[in-house]
Amino acid sequence: LDASQIVHPSIMYGKLKDWDGKPFKEAPLFYQGVDEEIARVMTAMDGDCLRVRDRIKELFPFLDLSAVMPTWDWLLDAYGDQVADKSSIKTSFNTNAAYKGLTFPMKPNPKGEGLLPEFDYRYLTANIPYALLVTKGIGELCEVSTPELDKAIVWGQTQLGLEWIKDGKLQGKDIQATRCPQKFGI
């Protein structure tokens, strides 16, 4: 599992899904700004990925899918010695020294003061079409619903002016620019 397919889109979506459009005075912290809602979104998206993994294991029991793990497990495995408070996924992100001071991708507000989120950034432009949509696509093929992934994907495609999901399926007009299996007619 490419952990960035969950980490980056879930933080962007969790923080900005209800954004009122008003400019920020300063760029918010990205990883260290994970709050309870972002942690909930991340955990829910993980749940979708893990259900896809479990279904693949049922269909192909010989596959080693041990690398497909919850994001929190991955974070502690990758950064455990740099995490001061491992009591929750939120605190694990908030206290990870490797993430100290990293902020949301932002751009100047063209209409005046402040900063606006930069949606046209790899957290959405790469992590969704080249990773998250692959998991969503495999889920579709295995008949595993991915409602939490779908919410983040639909939000992301709206921010980017693209269409990957249409009528609840990976059949949008921009599917050919992704790596999901549906691109190949599977």
How many CA atoms lie within 13 Å of 58's alpha carbon, on the beta-carbon side? 10
Tokens in use for 57?
């294991």
Tokens in use for 3?
């952990």
35: left (phi over 0), alpha (psi -120 to 50) or beta: beta
CA distances to 32, 71, 111, 117 from 114, in Å: 21, 32, 9, 10
As a whole number of angstroms, the distance between CA 64 and CA 66 comes to 6
Is the CB of residue 97 less than 8 Å from the CB of residue 84? yes
Catalytic residues, by residue number, are 8
